[in-house]
Amino acid sequence: MFIGHGKEGVDGYAVIMNEIGKHEYITFIVGVSPKGEIRDVAVMDYRETRGWEVKEQRFLRQFRGKSLADPITVDRDIVNYTGATLSSHAIARGVKKALSLVQAFYLQPAGNKQP
């Protein structure tokens, strides 16, 4: 995990994830805001022979603004590509995990805010 610092303090977080597609790992990075919302997702290395469409912005842009309160699940709030169903599920699963990691390690739970 990486922490981005700006003039006002923490500007965001980035988590590099590896999720298995059909047979191979898909490596992608998830940018998370200090409020726990997805800023962006980018595929870094796609190793499968099929399903490469998940690298396109029209798929990845669906994750922007989502938080742990959202399902982040294919066929609920994420539309998969035909022919890239397993890759779509893998990225959705990894994005949800990345949000969970940022929440657990860097963001305070809603009920435990300090004055």
Top pLDDT among 82 and 101 is at: 101
Closest Cα partner for 31 from 57, 9, 58, 11? 11
Q: Output the pTM of the full model.
A: 0.90
Q: Express each pLDDT in 15-65 by its tens digit.
A: 999 999 999 999 999 999 999 999 999 999 999 999 999 999 999 999 999
Within-domain flag for 114: no
Q: Residue 13: which H helix or E strand, with range?
A: strand 9-20
Does pLDDT of 111 surpass 60?
A: no
Within-domain flag for 16: yes
**Dihedrals phi, psi of 75, to nearest 5 degrees:** 75, 5
Within-domain flag for 52: yes
Within-domain flag for 113: no
Our count of domains for the chain comes to 1
Domain housing 34: 2-108
- Taking the alpha carbons at both ends of the chain, their separation in whole angstroms is 27
Within-domain flag for 115: no
